[in-house]
């Protein structure tokens, strides 16, 4: 059986959400596809290579199989992964592959898991691999849509164009989360205040996004980016892209863990299209309503 799950972008609030502050996150129209067939041993094939269960090369898929086996003991499976979502770029590719694999395993082995059960297993897989995580990515990949997290409040945002510029630098989410945790240990009072500020920025952004008030969105996004910079998760490459976009009148910030990965930009359709031409690595994505689903075919 085949299944897919969407990637996501943090519009506001990454890192602070690890410490129970609010974040605004939307699923995007880039998906990861997993095809699962019963067999007598395990074979995982993806753009990363072909392996058996391999916790180094295919950590998320291997842990997903291990956790799924706690629900139903399985002899083996052939698992093929194809993805539109760039890896390790802050667009939720790890959660999307985890959720897509779980959804396809569920369909192939007829375990009839609910979305909430799939989300719970995917959240455990994220912790197995990363050690520390907010669970946001598996939630969005499972359910799709735009949400205020951790309250799980659905937010209706317009079908905006979201500019995504990839720095081309891979980063490991767990390492960036640990970096912030260390900063928080050294300067707890300061970092708590930064987290509170991010929380307020996120809350203010919700109504502005619903009404698409670009002037306010611009200021709030820039403030969020500056807070992330203060937490030490921006880089010179990210700062450069943000500055270039700023000079074109586009609000932008890093999205996800930082330390590389992607920058997102919001502005009028004309401005985002202009910016897309300027950056070779830029794509335009849209908010996606649909979460994990069983697919009729592997073709996208």
Q: State the DSSP code for 53.
A: S
Contacts with ligand PMV in 248-267 (CB under 6 A)?
A: 256-257, 261
Beta-bridge partners for 42:
77
- For ligand PMV, which residue has the nearest CB? 256
Work out which of 2, 3, 4, 14 binds ligand PMV, going by CB under 6 A. 14
Catalytic residue from among 106, 128, 137, 199: 137
From 97-105, 132-140, 217-225, 291-299, span contacting ligand PMV (CB under 6 A): 132-140
Beta-bridge partners for 18:
none
Residue 145: CB partners within 8 Å, gap ≥ 6? 26, 27, 154, 287, 288, 289, 291
Work out which of 4, 62, 83, 134 binds ligand PMV, going by CB under 6 A. 134
Pairing relationship of beta strands 77-83 and 42-46 according to DSSP bridges: parallel
Reading the block at residue 64, the tokens are 């997903």
Reading the block at residue 128, the tokens are 């197995």
Reading the block at residue 175, the tokens are 């390492």
| Nearest alpha-carbon partner for 289 in 148, 91, 92, 157 | 157
From 28-36, 57-65, 133-141, 286-294, span contacting ligand PMV (CB under 6 A): 133-141
Work out which of 92, 138, 260, 291 binds ligand PMV, going by CB under 6 A. 92
Q: How far is the CB of 109 from ligand PMV (least distance, A)?
A: 28
Structural Rg of the chain based on CA atoms:
19
Query: Burial code of 239-278, b = ≥16 C-beta within 10 A, e = fewer?
Result: eebbebbbeeebbbbbbbbbbbbbbbbbbeeebbeebbee
Q: How far is the CB of 134 from ligand PMV (least distance, A)?
A: 3
Please tell me whether residue 137 binds ligand PMV under the rule CB under 6 A. yes
The neighbour count for residue 112, using CB atoms within 10 Å, is: 8
Q: How far is the CB of 191 from ligand PMV (least distance, A)?
A: 14
Reading the block at residue 289, the tokens are 């309503």
Between 18 and 105, whose beta carbon lies closer to ligand PMV? 18
Please tell me whether residue 144 binds ligand PMV under the rule CB under 6 A. no
Beta-bridge partners for 23:
149
Q: How far is the CB of 273 from ligand PMV (least distance, A)?
A: 25
Catalytic residue list contains 196 = no
Q: Tell the residue number behind the tokens 């912790």, with chain if given.
A: 127
Between 17 and 217, whose beta carbon lies closer to ligand PMV? 17
Please tell me whether residue 205 binds ligand PMV under the rule CB under 6 A. no
Contacts with ligand PMV in 166-185 (CB under 6 A)?
A: 173, 176-177
Reading the block at residue 39, the tokens are 């067999």
Between 4 and 141, whose beta carbon lies closer to ligand PMV? 141
Work out which of 90, 260, 265, 287 binds ligand PMV, going by CB under 6 A. 90
Please tell me whether residue 133 binds ligand PMV under the rule CB under 6 A. yes
- H or E element at residue 83: strand 77-83
Please tell me whether residue 28 binds ligand PMV under the rule CB under 6 A. no
Q: How far is the CB of 102 from ligand PMV (least distance, A)?
A: 18
CA distances from 206 to 153, 171, 199, 202, 222 (A): 11, 28, 11, 7, 15
Reading the block at residue 212, the tokens are 């698409």
Number of residues engaging ligand PMV in binding (CB under 6 A)? 16
Residues that bind ligand PMV (CB under 6 A): 14-15, 17-18, 90, 92, 133-134, 136-137, 173, 176-177, 256-257, 261
Residues with catalytic function: 137
């Amino acid at each position: 059986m085949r299944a897919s799950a969407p990637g996501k972008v943090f519009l506001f609030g990454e890192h602070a959400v690890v410490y129970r502050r609010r974040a605004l996150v939307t699923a995007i129209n880039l998906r990861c596809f997993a095809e699962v067939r019963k067999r007598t041993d395990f074979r995982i094939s993806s753009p990363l290579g072909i392996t058996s269960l391999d916790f180094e090369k295919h950590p998320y898929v291997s842990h997903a199989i291990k956790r799924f086996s706690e629900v139903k003991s399985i002899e083996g499976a052939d698992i093929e992964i194809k993805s539109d979502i760039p890896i390790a770029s802050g667009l939720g590719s790890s959660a999307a592959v985890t959720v897509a694999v779980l959804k396809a395993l569920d369909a192939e082995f007829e375990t009839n898991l609910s979305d909430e059960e799939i989300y719970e297993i995917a959240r455990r897989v994220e912790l197995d691999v990363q050690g520390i995580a907010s669970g946001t990515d598996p939630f969005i990949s499972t359910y799709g849509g735009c949400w205020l997290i951790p309250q799980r409040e659905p937010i209706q945002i317009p079908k905006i164009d979201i500019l995504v510029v990839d720095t081309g630098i891979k980063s490991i989410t767990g390492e960036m989360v640990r970096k912030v945790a260390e900063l928080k240990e050294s300067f707890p009072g300061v970092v708590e205040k930064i987290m509170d500020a991010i929380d307020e920025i996120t809350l203010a952004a919700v109504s502005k996004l619903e009404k698409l008030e670009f002037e306010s969105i611009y200021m709030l996004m820039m403030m969020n980016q500056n807070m992330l910079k203060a937490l030490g998760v921006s880089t010179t490459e990210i700062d450069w892209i943000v500055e270039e976009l700023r000079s074109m009148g586009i609000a932008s910030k890093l999205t996800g863990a930082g330390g590389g990965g992607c920058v997102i930009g919001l502005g009028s359709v004309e401005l985002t299209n202009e910016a897309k031409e300027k950056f070779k690595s830029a794509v335009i994505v849209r908010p996606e309503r649909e979460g994990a689903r069983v697919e009729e075919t592997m073709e996208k």
